[in-house]
Chains A and B, each alone.
Chain A
Amino acid sequence: MSVYGGLPERAGGFGAALLAFAEDLRGEGVAVGTSELLDAFEALGHVPWRRQQDFRETLAATLAKSPEDRHVFELVFERFFFRATEAEATRHEFGQPALRAVDSARLDLDQLRRQIAAALTQGSEAAMSDLARLAIAAFAQEGSGVVGVDVQRIRRALGLRAEPRVDLPPDDPRSRGLSREQIRRFEQFLRRELEREAIARTAALPPKRPLTELDRALPTGPIEDLAAVHRVVAQLKRRLATEGHEQRGRRRHAQVDVRRTMRASLQTGGVPVELKYRPRRPRRPEIYVLCDVSTSVTSASTFFLSVVHALHDAFRKLRSFVFIERVSEVTEVFESERDFRAASTAVSRTAGVADVSGYTDYGRVWSEFLELVGDELHPRASVIVLGDARTNGRPPCEAAFQAITSLAGHTFWLNPEPRLYWNYGDSVIGRYEQHCTAFECWRTDQLEAFVKALARSR
């Protein structure tokens, strides 16, 4: 007889369940090692399990070790234990009383709407769970059977919207509008209750739903993309700043300044007791960014401009240029404008200078760029070109490009097109690629890959 009210133990008991949970986590891409599992088991020995909060936090602290992993962990935890409970319930036939029995005529629908909105603003879990069941009882009579569809239908029927509704009295929370986050949470409850009901009806567990990209995305504001770019660029900055240090390795200690050592040795009678080292002077990277803003890369140029914008936050010695047919320097715009939107409008104004026919002319761009900064380029400078290398049939002028790359220490090309389209049509990236390192770059994770490659190449 076990403590769980006489239910027979499942094979393997708790340990097996936890292993299955870890397996689930691994399936969703969280790297859970054996040592971490051992930690989890040991940690659970020190924590009371009376509250789900403590149990969950203990597992999270030992198994999920980054904000992203933590987010996935929450979702998998929810899914796993929901399914585990339901599986047990079906096994023992603890079905829930059928909700259909509730007579919707007896429910005051308007009252229900108000209550749900109030529960949402207070954020009480238990209340939301109960109200979700009530809402399903009231509105799901002619359910479609597809959970996602039903959730949205019920939400609409409940009138849960983010926009403020001025027609309602001011004490109703809906009059000020509900936050998207709260609505999303309530939808989760609805989904869970609908799933639970479906399980009770069919007495079988449906196959588990793998997490989608949307699930995985951390809940953040509309500036998330920009924030992601800033994060990657912060990494880029570190890489560039420590450039070359790792190669020097231990040698960095060995640079004794003989002159200063001898002078210091006079104090100790000519015995060099104190060694004086040459101070280490970190090199300041100098970067030139060339960004294509022509119509063929319209969708990518916002992304690119935000990269440039983030780079300006990170580096002081940075000059940026936009080009279409001609080159135009925009360093000042980015330096004086903190707000990205204002900066990009200012840039599109400046870009007018660079635009004559709206078609990129790489040959002209290279020669003008050389003219502008050719004297300042030196082996410690890096040039980063952001563009699709589509010449519109004009001559690519590799020679001029080669002149730039030979003056600068490193040249990188970030191409917003998938590699599949490279060198098709009027794309001449292959000819430029001989002189520089080219990367495919149209998502932040590819930008991250570029940063990694950058670190490796040095």
Chain B
Amino acid sequence: MPTLVDLLARVSFLAAMPAVAGIFVTASLLVVSRDWRLNMTALIAQYFFVVLLLTRLIRLEVAAVKGLTGWMICMVFYLTERRASLLEQSPATNSASSPQRWHRWVISARASFCLLAGLLVSVAAYTAALRMPLPEVPNDITLACYLLAGLGLLLIGLSENPMQVGLGLLTFLSGFDLFYVALEPSLAVAGLLGAVSFLIALATAYLRAAQITTGDEVRQP
């Protein structure tokens, strides 16, 4: 059975602009979307593309471990949101169903604003990648780093919902990690950064659980 490392090696041809494009799409989706299923899918894909790019900078095994950390984080988020959606579907809660809320969100002015803001940040990231290339990393990875950092920052700033903020922080950290592994390939730092990401996920999941418990969700889009 092929190992994760083997699988990554097979798709390593994508570890260039296709991965950057994938990062752009997934990060933009995280900015615009408010549906947890879509967000989880986007995050999983985002980590996949980040791992692909990491394979160009560090050893495949280390990149795979980082990917595993990311997917474990996605699992944490998935379990939390799944529990939340089960509680929302209970008769005790009067809130609208998830598809209805998603439909309302998509056509709302806020979604348009998020999309436009995301596009603006992407353009800014592209310009920054051209004007201020990061040391020790190729141009496409520079673009990916700026995209992740910028869209992550946007995601943190646009919402006070714990999950959205958590996604934003993780996106931001992914972008930074992509750059920093080229500067500091130390395993200790990699481990600590992974621990940081995991703890951020746990903290936001904890806050999300508190949000569900108190029924505070309706107040925070």
| A and B part of one assembly | no
